[in-house]
């Protein structure tokens, strides 16, 4: 009986040892790591590097070979010196696992219980992240190591504010659409509990244009004014359209709404879209900034000018006082430009009248002392100069002059709009036939000649009559 008790005790001991071993072994695998708060404006590459893991024999921590010389331990892991050393070495080795996402998070499964270095890279280099560490283990109630479904929030340190425009060329009075993109920053606190992010504002400034956020469509384009966060509408955070309509700048404060202590929106893309009305200028520029990116981004939209030169057909002298209308042809119809007194297109095109004449609404430009007249504010396209008033002493040229506006480019980048072959935009006029001026020498000559003819005729008449009487 005693032998049986001893055997049972031995077996029980063995079972306990085996159970402990199995528990310890089971605890080493099956961990999960989720990295959240990734920027959603572009693909974010996440690389994780195993720093240390649980030893299979004595449950101690064993550092990965690539960490040599860093002297990393579970106790000093999160110090800045160790993190910097680990990042330097990690970039020279192969990650334990990699993934990418544009949805704000990635998850790694089937990991060893241990610690991992987390490095995040923005594929567009617009966002930079701090170095992070994740522990994929915890101690359970029996003080054994257990795998942990760990989560870390990516800490965006810096990021850019991007601005784009839907048109690089546009005429005066046209609507252009701007899109501003940025990222919600990660909120953290220092040792004293003070929040590090104290401002999150998107600022925008227009030059030579005004916000057009309400009203009817302009030239077939409806006004746009919207805000999304990670693709979800947040229009309730916008400044009133009534307040901004017709203005040239704004500051949109999003700190309280989006930068939260739990970092619900951290890393998510913010997209602001709106329309603006192009003013009388050849360069319409827009600058968008944020509190995290004071430099921001500037976009440009251009239009251009065209000049016609009026010359005497025979002498090639410059002719002052010629007046021109400007038109384009759309669907076989002539549309005439409304032009103000300074030669600027005002944004309105008027169809020719029923008789094919220039409409009264069309503006006119007049040649100066140098025989030149300029129209301003045209976009890319084909147009015509039509002479409607000739200089004094000249006849109207019935042949309209065609010209084309093209993009001006420098290193394949649009830098303006200009007239192609500008030096060849010329019109010649013929002089009217010379007519005697009232009271001038021409009248005197004709009068004398007339008198001579009359006297001669009278003389012939009387001479003829005298001969008749003599018979």
User: Are residue 287 and residue 311 in the same domain, yes or no?
Assistant: no
Lowest mean pLDDT among 169-178, 204-213, 314-323, 433-442: 433-442
Does 272 map to a domain? yes
Task: Please determine, for residue 318, whether its predicted confidence score (pLDDT) is greater than 90.
Answer: yes
User: Are residue 51 and residue 101 in the same domain, yes or no?
Assistant: yes
Average pLDDT over residues 156-184: 93
Average pLDDT over residues 451-466: 57
Does 360 map to a domain? yes
Average pLDDT over residues 421-444: 72
Q: Which two tokens stand for residue 413?
A: 């980048």
Task: Write down the pLDDT at residue 12.
Answer: 47
CATH of the domain at 127: 2.60.40
Does 449 map to a domain? no
User: Are residue 164 and residue 293 in the same domain, yes or no?
Assistant: yes
Running DSSP on this structure, what letter comes out for residue 397? P
- For 348-379, what is each residue's pLDDT tens digit? 999 998 888 999 899 999 999 999 999 999 99
More confident residue, 40 or 228: 228
Does 180 map to a domain? yes
Residues 183, 41: Cα–Cα separation, whole Å? 7
User: Are residue 283 and residue 308 in the same domain, yes or no?
Assistant: no
Longest Cα pair distance anywhere in the chain, in angstroms?
A: 197
Does 470 map to a domain? no
Average pLDDT over residues 211-231: 97
Per the listing, tokens 């997209």 go with 271
For residue 130, the enclosing domain spans 23-158
How far is C-alpha 125 from the geometric centre of its chain's CA atoms? 18
More confident residue, 97 or 126: 97
User: Are residue 256 and residue 353 in the same domain, yes or no?
Assistant: no
Task: Write down the pLDDT at residue 20.
Answer: 45
**Inter-residue contact 114 to 136 (CB < 8 Å):** yes
- Enclosing H/E stretch for 375: strand 372-378
The partner residues of 300 in beta bridges, in order of sequence, read 285
User: Are residue 172 and residue 293 in the same domain, yes or no?
Assistant: yes
The percent of the chain in helix, strand and coil, each rounded to the nearest 5, is 20, 45, 40
User: Are residue 254 and residue 373 in the same domain, yes or no?
Assistant: no
Does 17 map to a domain? no
For 175-227, the DSSP string reads EEEEEEEEEPPPP-B-TTS-BS----EEEEEEESEEE--SSS-BTTB---EEE
The partner residues of 35 in beta bridges, in order of sequence, read 106, 152
CA triple 42-276-360, angle to 5 deg: 145
Per the listing, tokens 């003389």 go with 459
**Pairing, β 304-312 against β 323-330:** unpaired
- For 52-97, what is each residue's pLDDT tens digit? 998 776 568 899 999 998 989 988 998 989 999 999 999 999 999 9
Domain edge (last residue) among 99, 127, 158: 158
User: Are residue 381 and residue 407 in the same domain, yes or no?
Assistant: yes
Task: Please determine, for residue 292, whether its predicted confidence score (pLDDT) is greater than 50.
Answer: yes
Task: Write down the pLDDT at residue 356.
Answer: 85
Say what the pTM is: 0.76
Domain edge (last residue) among 113, 140, 158: 158
For 245-289, the DSSP string reads TT-SEEEEE-HHHH--TT-TTTT-EEEEEEEEEE-SSSEEEEEEE
The partner residues of 274 in beta bridges, in order of sequence, read 178, 225
Domain edge (last residue) among 243, 274, 301: 301
User: Are residue 257 and residue 143 in the same domain, yes or no?
Assistant: no
Does 11 map to a domain? no
Nearest residue to 168 (alpha-carbon basis) of 345, 420, 414:
414
User: Are residue 379 and residue 275 in the same domain, yes or no?
Assistant: no
CATH of the domain at 295: 2.60.40.740
User: Are residue 37 and residue 48 in the same domain, yes or no?
Assistant: yes
Mean pLDDT score across all residues of the chain: 88
**Inter-residue contact 28 to 112 (CB < 8 Å):** yes
Residues 10, 4: Cα–Cα separation, whole Å? 10
User: Are residue 411 and residue 422 in the same domain, yes or no?
Assistant: yes
- For 271-280, what is each residue's pLDDT tens digit? 999 999 999 9
Per the listing, tokens 């850019």 go with 160
**Inter-residue contact 409 to 161 (CB < 8 Å):** no
Task: Please determine, for residue 428, whether its predicted confidence score (pLDDT) is greater than 50.
Answer: yes
Does 437 map to a domain? no
Residues 267, 229: Cα–Cα separation, whole Å? 10
Nearest residue to 427 (alpha-carbon basis) of 373, 376, 379:
373
Domain count, the chain: 3
């Amino acid at each position: 009986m005693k032998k049986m008790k001893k055997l049972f005790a031995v077996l029980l001991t063995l079972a306990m040892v085996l159970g402990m071993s199995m528990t310890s072994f089971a605890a080493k695998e099956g961990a999960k790591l989720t990295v959240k708060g990734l920027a959603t404006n572009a693909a974010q590459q996440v690389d994780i590097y195993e720093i240390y893991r649980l030893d299979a024999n004595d449950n101690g921590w064993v550092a990965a070979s690539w960490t040599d010389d860093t002297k990393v331990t579970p106790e000093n892991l999160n110090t800045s010196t160790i993190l910097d050393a680990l990042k330097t070495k990690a970039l020279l080795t192969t990650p334990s696992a990699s993934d990418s996402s544009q949805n704000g998070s990635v998850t790694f499964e089937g990991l060893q219980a241990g610690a991992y270095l987390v490095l995040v890279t923005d594929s567009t280099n617009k966002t930079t992240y701090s170095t992070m560490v994740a522990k994929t283990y915890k101690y359970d109630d029996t003080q054994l190591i257990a795998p942990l479904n760990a989560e870390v929030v990516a800490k965006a340190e810096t990021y850019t504010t991007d601005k784009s425009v839907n048109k690089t060329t546009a005429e005066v009075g046209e609507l252009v659409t701007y899109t501003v993109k940025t990222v919600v920053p990660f909120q953290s606190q220092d040792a004293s509990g003070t929040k590090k992010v104290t401002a999150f504002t998107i600022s925008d400034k227009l030059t030579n244009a005004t916000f057009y956020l309400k009203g009817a469509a302009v030239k077939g384009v409806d006004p746009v004014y919207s805000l999304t966060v990670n693709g979800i509408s947040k229009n309730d955070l916008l400044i009133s359209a009534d307040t901004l309509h017709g203005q040239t700048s704004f500051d949109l404060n999003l700190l309280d709404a989006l930068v939260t202590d739990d970092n619900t929106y951290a890393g998510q893309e913010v997209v602001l879209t709106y329309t603006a009305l192009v003013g009388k200028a050849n360069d319409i520029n827009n600058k968008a900034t944020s509190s995290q990116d004071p430099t921001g981004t500037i976009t440009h939209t251009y239009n251009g000018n065209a000049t016609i030169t009026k010359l005497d057909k025979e002498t090639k002298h410059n002719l002052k006082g010629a007046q021109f209308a400007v038109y384009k042809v759309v669907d076989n119809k002539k549309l005439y430009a409304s032009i103000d007194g300074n030669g600027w297109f005002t944004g309105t095109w008027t169809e020719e009248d029923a008789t094919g004449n220039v409409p009264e609404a069309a503006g006119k430009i007049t040649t100066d002392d140098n025989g030149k007249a300029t129209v301003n504010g045209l976009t890319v396209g084909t147009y015509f100069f039509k002479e409607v008033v000739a200089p004094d002493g000249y006849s109207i040229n019935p042949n309209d002059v065609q010209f084309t506006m093209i993009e001006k480019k420098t290193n394949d980048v649009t830098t303006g709009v200009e007239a192609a072959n500008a030096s060849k935009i010329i019109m010649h006029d013929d002089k009217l036939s010379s007519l005697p001026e009232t009271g001038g020498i021409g009248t005197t000559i004709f009068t004398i000649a007339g008198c001579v003819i009359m006297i001669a005729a009278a003389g012939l008449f009387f001479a003829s009559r005298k001969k008749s009487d003599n018979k």
